[in-house]
Structure 1
Amino acid sequence: MELLFRAIDDGRTRDGGPGDAWATQFGALWPAYRDWWVREGLKARPTYLSSRRAIATHMPEILGLYDEMAERAGGGDSEARFLSFWCPPPYLSGCSQAIWPGPEPILVRNYDYSPRAFDAVVLRTEWQGRGVIGTSDGMFGLVDGMNDAGLAVSLTFGGRRVVGEGFGVPLILRYLLQTCETTEEAAAALSRLPTHMSYNVTVVDAARRYVTAFLAPDRSTTITHAAVATNHQERVEWSSHARFTATVERERFLLHRLTLHVEPDDKFIGAFLKPPLYSIAYGAGFGTLYTAVYRVAERMMELHWPGAVWRLPLDGPIGGARAVAYPEAA
């Protein structure tokens, strides 16, 4: 199976909101996203009024951006409800992430997910006057990213089946990058934002201060000084998922590397491109689709695959595409 990764630059808009490049890409992806969004029936999803109210209550700084985005997406009820990311259908992923133990703030992560359910879009924006680059999810959210203040963020699934009332975590990452400049600010936001499932969010800023937040819909957020996150939180709570994704083994592998002498950044990144961190479980929906590297000091995002690197500057412009092949089933 082959994925075409695209780099989309939406950073030259006149009013600081979503532009033509974003609207075109949303139109291309919307039919598939709508099928996913309504798979449990449209009535299973929150109304437009409750979705917009959730953003106004918890993320008022991006309410205007949300309104503009819903309008550029066509102004329809379903599109607006989807873009709010409020109480979406449940979904699972794998993923490993860690902060390089060297002097520069570098965040490295593997994204393990189904290639059939992935945007394969790197999106650069200057919405609301804030420069952001990252891996898009739903054309509003991000699964990892960095902003022009030097804040980098990434997520992993938290390994719990509980579903509650809250936002899909990709919008939480977008909110952090639109509104926060330091790890302290991001930790405060993560402590109050409601999430619909359990996720781990790792944050590092330009001063190399970092935290990992354990988010959950049914208990308070825990802010830790962990430099590593895989697919459980303080302990394993879903044993079959943990065995299948080898979350404990991956965490131990990364923690062991962090306790050794500081290795060069290229060696550390190279470890993500090999087992046990690199997964080939594509047929089961948990294969490694890419390794992302955020070099905060250089304002540079990199996508790595075995034998290939794509460098994408935060300050842009970006564009083009890369074709990546994966085993159909493994």
Structure 2
Amino acid sequence: MLWRAVSEDAPGPKWSGLFAEYWPDYKQWWLKEGETTRPTYAQSRAALQQHMPEIVPLYDELCELVGGGDLAARFLSFYCPPPYLAGCSQAIWTGKEPVMVRNYDYNPNAFDSLVLHTKWQGRRVMGTSDGLWGLVDGVNDAGLAISLTFGGRRVVGGGFGVPLILRYVLQTCETAEEAGAALARIPTHMSYNVTVLDRKRQYLTAMMAPDRQTLITHAAVATNHQENVEWVSHARFTATVERERFLLHRLTLHRDPEEKFIGAFLKPPLYSTAFNVGFGTLYTAVYRPKRRQMELRWPGTVWSLSLKDFEEGGRHIRLPGAA
């Protein structure tokens, strides 16, 4: 995989160039169930205006930047997208300086492999891109870090793709409490567990779903189920319960030092090589919100990135077990 780190303070030629590069594949995915299955532009923008009004000017700017086309604008709204599944494990190591650690398990052929560093609307944000402005994890200049895992339920409903919800939280929130309030009110189209950690050591995990109220918990660990396993075959396939127990054990009964805890994410049972079925570990991310820093890790490789002193660049990463 070729990973890139790209910085652009305001939406401009770098971002529009990335969109032009990725759009053909995203367009095919967006239309895979038929164009009429997806909401109209008017419905999509109205949903954004209702639930995330602060970023509507940014959305309008991005739509204009890519030519103002109807399909692109509907896609960029992330409103009621096609369903998609990921693996993932995430946890808060609650030491002297808490860190958020996560594995992202997904199909390498359907992934941006891109870190975006932006100053959109005056707020610095750095994170792993999904959909070119959504994020699957990230940190902002207020020292708020965030990450997601799939919640292990098949229910699909009216709401937003969770990467845009993460972008919204990092654009508008500064504390875990503020993030929790936003996550509790914004509708999601599928079930996700979203963990946040702020610079003052406060953290929470929001168990979001399209068909029931978001549950705000103080859980330091999230894998691919919520309070109970509901999709048994998926739980067995992804070993979500086993991964959760393993992490809880490392945090409590057998408390690891920080580096050993991080290292466990690059080994079984957390690290997966199931790339042939779309659930291999694409990367491990380590977030240090107090320092506004992130690391991307692979076996034998660490890529450190700083929100303040961000350096653009790239890495060619060979994934163990990937074809």
> In the alignment, which of 206, 229, 232 is matched to residue 222 of structure 2?
229
> In the alignment, which of 298, 302, 306 is matched to residue 305 of structure 1?
298
Structure 2: gaps of 5 or more residues: none
AA at the equivalent of 2:7 = D
1:165-201 C-alpha deviation (Å, 9 max, x unpaired): 0000000000000000000000001110000000000
> In the alignment, which of 38, 49, 58 is matched to residue 56 of structure 1?
49
> In the alignment, which of 214, 224, 234 is matched to residue 241 of structure 1?
234
Paired with 2:260 and 2:74, the residues of 1 have a C-alpha distance of 43
Paired with 1:35 and 1:261, the residues of 2 have a C-alpha distance of 47
The residue that corresponds to 1:6 in the other structure is: 4
Preserved CA contact (<8 Å) 2:116 2:126: yes
> In the alignment, which of 262, 268, 289 is matched to residue 296 of structure 1?
289
Cα deviation, residue 261, structure 1: 5.6
> In the alignment, which of 294, 309, 314 is matched to residue 316 of structure 1?
309
1:252-300 C-alpha deviation (Å, 9 max, x unpaired): 0000011136432111110000000000100000000000001112211
Paired with 1:179 and 1:45, the residues of 2 have a C-alpha distance of 27
1:72-98 C-alpha deviation (Å, 9 max, x unpaired): 122111110000000000000000000
Aligned-residue Cα RMSD (Å) equals 1.1
Percent identity reads 69
The residue that corresponds to 2:164 in the other structure is: 171
Cα deviation, residue 36, structure 1: 0.3
Paired with 1:275 and 1:199, the residues of 2 have a C-alpha distance of 23
> In the alignment, which of 77, 85, 99 is matched to residue 84 of structure 1?
77
Cα deviation, residue 317, structure 1: 3.1
> In the alignment, which of 117, 121, 129 is matched to residue 122 of structure 2?
129
Cα deviation, residue 70, structure 1: 0.6
Alignment of 1:74-223 (within 5 A): 74-223=67-216
- Aligned pair 1:259/2:257, yes or no? no
Structure 1: gaps of 5 or more residues: none
Paired with 1:261 and 1:208, the residues of 2 have a C-alpha distance of 21
AA at the equivalent of 2:221 = V
The residue that corresponds to 1:36 in the other structure is: 29
The residue that corresponds to 1:25 in the other structure is: 18
Paired with 1:93 and 1:317, the residues of 2 have a C-alpha distance of 28
AA at the equivalent of 2:26 = Y
AA at the equivalent of 2:235 = A
Paired with 1:183 and 1:191, the residues of 2 have a C-alpha distance of 12
Q: TM-score, normalising length from structure 2?
A: 0.98
Preserved CA contact (<8 Å) 2:143 2:290: yes
Cα deviation, residue 328, structure 1: 6.1
1:297-326 C-alpha deviation (Å, 9 max, x unpaired): 221110000000001111133211111112
Preserved CA contact (<8 Å) 1:213 1:224: yes
Paired with 1:250 and 1:201, the residues of 2 have a C-alpha distance of 17
Paired with 1:196 and 1:73, the residues of 2 have a C-alpha distance of 25
Between 312-321 and 290-299, report the one with greater CA deviation.
312-321
Paired with 2:178 and 2:321, the residues of 1 have a C-alpha distance of 42
